Amino acid sequence: MENESSRKLANTMRKLLFKVRSSSQAKESQSLVDTTPGCPFGVLVEERLKNVERHIQEVKGRINGLIFVLIGAVVVEVVVRLLG
């Protein structure tokens, strides 16, 4: 009895694993939702949004650089005051 139930459990687990793998492969091969714009205005808005995102990333990089320079200047000032 235990051997038969073990086989049933193993078969059920194999079937479940097969279903999970096949559904994940199907999702990878097909997109369920089409996210491309359907009109010229949507294309224009998407293009502008991507442009704004690029500019924001550039500004963030510049701000990070300025913060690094500011912290470096503060550290140098502290070292000069301690040693001088």
Q: What proportion of the chain, given as a percentage, has pLDDT over 70?
A: 82
Q: What is the DSSP letter of 67?
A: H
For residue range 30-57, list pLDDT tens digits in order. Answer: 556 667 778 888 889 999 999 999 999 9
Q: Write down the domain spans for the chain.
A: 1-30, 41-84
Query: Within its chain, how far is the Cα of 17 from the centroid?
Result: 27
- Residue 46, Cβ neighbours under 10 Å: how many? 13
The pTM assigned to this predicted structure is 0.49
d(CA 49, CA 46): 5
d(CA 49, CA 38): 16
